[in-house]
Structure 1
């Protein structure tokens, strides 16, 4: 039986956490341990607890959770077959502990969750660069989501590939899970016609741009609603924006939703409006349910996806144009196009690619 260790910052369920959750389910018949530095008590990993040993360490702060994790690993001194992480400081913590011999593993597979060289500047960027230098020395494989991300790493850390395999492996999607969950009934009665998006309510997601675009389309489609799935510190600001545009009664802020798939399936169109992403996993989820999908070019590789409607990142005018075109076009042919594209991104195919790539390490 393989011994699997998965380490994440919190029990949230953003893109990086969703990726690790898919990995956990892939190994559900193995010996799986999951550690989160902070426990926000949201219960979003409860289903994984049916087969994995989970420890969400601190209710106070991620730093105290990291300290607790170090002591746990010191006590266990267990050797793992595979370690999986995804967010920079989780990658770095595990990497440092491997360097010190506190954690041992056959393979350490880390994944970059965002493009730090595009997203951050100044002191914050220097901080991340320093922890990468400290913690990325003992990785067997560092997964980049796109070629752009890989090129940035190679440029800023010129020696990284001397000690670590740096590879582009596109994000996986759990198609079996998406099909099962899309068929589940919702307690909420959905509007007859609506646009849907999903993600944290932060500036990078571009929901201010989406609300502006929706307001323009509203005059052409008077029955259309906008549903925003997610929670975050921009909620009041976005509500005020919708009020100023006189469309608040048509914009539904649903908060965090455990099952997004029925929303995606029943929407008139699904939209990713982000200014910047590592790669938006939610885009793949939307494609699994709906043939009408719009996305900003917020990450490398999106322009290569067949069938979706794209626009410039951070540009409300081209977003409006893409949404209008998508709404008014018959996209039935996209179902087969999307299915073929997503089949190549299955979790099983993703793990197989990892195992094949790791042979180069031997």
Structure 2
């Protein structure tokens, strides 16, 4: 099949990386994959993997005025005329509709449409947007069971929804290289090799980096060999660095800034914590931590409880710093528990969340549409 992956922008985030992982796996299975976006840092990686990318600047989030939408539809129709596309897999709603409208101008050609949906609009002033899902001209790939239930609750036909979680490329997040990457990263940041490292990966904002800093400061004296490894960039970087200084943990709190090699950073960690309080749906970073057999601590938010079950880690309430500190203490005190939860996490990943298993579902949907 000829398959088009389309998104407003291919950024280095969940939808961007999943688009790339899905595309690579489809190519391995003999399909031809194309990509369209307004650009983004992931475009180079698409092209490095033999995926032809076409840039349409008008489909970017900030440029979707009526005139540019019409331009985009016209360019997409020309694209469909030139390429024999069988499947359009959109990774945001706006591009799905533009591609669908463009396809209506084709003669003697039917294209199947699919949309990977993270979740519905929850912000009160924007919930009116959710009507769009009820009229969707596509099969919806819901990223979690939670997302599927949210879609059903607003009136979407359950028969149009297939749960396809995020997946991890275990060739990249390779547990056999954990010790190699661990040494490389700990040497780079001068973290003692025998210390216990608590880590978090993600853009600094609502993912709970500040909660982790506060929680760690509450237990730092009890665990002098523990370190924090905070991976991510953003406007709050200096604010969080100052918070670490204020809480007296700056010498044991490593800030890496933005890194594009998170597969190495995860390997340097012993405990992974994602204390998000908003915006998560089915976080890739939890799955990536599981790929290195790391136990998890995260929040009771959206689809996270589907990942963080009691056999792989702990769930806490968002913004409950004291509860987070208590769960950290449990894992820091008990080497055997950390190892057991980590083994379970790795087994769960291999059985449910490899990109190969996710694409099994996606490919079946493509072929049976």
TM-score range relative to shorter protein? 0.7 to 0.9
How far apart, in 2, do the equivalents of 1:181 and 1:108 lie?
38
8 Å contact from structure 2 (residues 21, 355) kept in 1: yes
How far apart, in 2, do the equivalents of 1:287 and 1:251 lie?
22
* Secondary structure at the counterpart of residue 108 of structure 1: strand
Q: CA deviation at 1:147?
A: 2.2
Deviations 1:181-220 (A, max 9, x none): 75554583351233211111122x1222111112112222
* Secondary structure at the counterpart of residue 291 of structure 1: coil
* 2:99 aligned residue (94, 97, 115): 94
How far apart, in 2, do the equivalents of 1:197 and 1:284 lie?
13
Structure 2 CA distance for partners of 1:235 and 1:59, relative to 1, 3 Å: farther
How far apart, in 1, do the equivalents of 2:345 and 2:104 lie?
42
* Secondary structure at the counterpart of residue 339 of structure 2: coil
TM (norm. structure 2) is: 0.82
Instruction: Report whether the alignment pairs 1:228 with 2:230.
Output: yes
1:278 counterpart residue number: 281
1:17 counterpart residue number: 16
* 1:161 aligned residue (157, 162, 175): 157
Deviations 1:120-148 (A, max 9, x none): 122x332x325545xx5210x21212222
How far apart, in 1, do the equivalents of 2:145 and 2:33 lie?
31
Instruction: Report whether the alignment pairs 1:197 with 2:210.
Output: no
Q: CA deviation at 1:12?
A: 1.4
8 Å contact from structure 2 (residues 292, 346) kept in 1: no
1:163-182 alignment to 2 at 5 Å? 165-179=160-174, 182=178
* Superposition RMSD in Å: 3.0
Instruction: Report whether the alignment pairs 1:32 with 2:33.
Output: yes
Deviations 1:95-152 (A, max 9, x none): 44446659x65432211124533xx122x332x325545xx5210x212122222121
How far apart, in 2, do the equivalents of 1:251 and 1:353 lie?
41
The answer for unaligned runs of 5 or more in structure 2 is: none
8 Å contact from structure 1 (residues 265, 290) kept in 2: no
How far apart, in 1, do the equivalents of 2:249 and 2:106 lie?
58
Structure 2 CA distance for partners of 1:311 and 1:21, relative to 1, 3 Å: same
The answer for unaligned runs of 5 or more in structure 1 is: none
8 Å contact from structure 1 (residues 201, 234) kept in 2: yes
Instruction: Report whether the alignment pairs 1:353 with 2:356.
Output: no
Instruction: Report whether the alignment pairs 1:327 with 2:327.
Output: no
Structure 2 CA distance for partners of 1:245 and 1:101, relative to 1, 3 Å: farther
Deviations 1:201-250 (A, max 9, x none): 122x1222111112112222234332221122222332332233233343
How far apart, in 1, do the equivalents of 2:284 and 2:104 lie?
31
8 Å contact from structure 2 (residues 143, 163) kept in 1: yes
8 Å contact from structure 2 (residues 296, 308) kept in 1: no
Instruction: Report whether the alignment pairs 1:261 with 2:260.
Output: no
Structure 2 CA distance for partners of 1:177 and 1:107, relative to 1, 3 Å: farther
* Secondary structure at the counterpart of residue 24 of structure 2: helix
8 Å contact from structure 1 (residues 115, 278) kept in 2: no
Structure 2 CA distance for partners of 1:241 and 1:92, relative to 1, 3 Å: farther
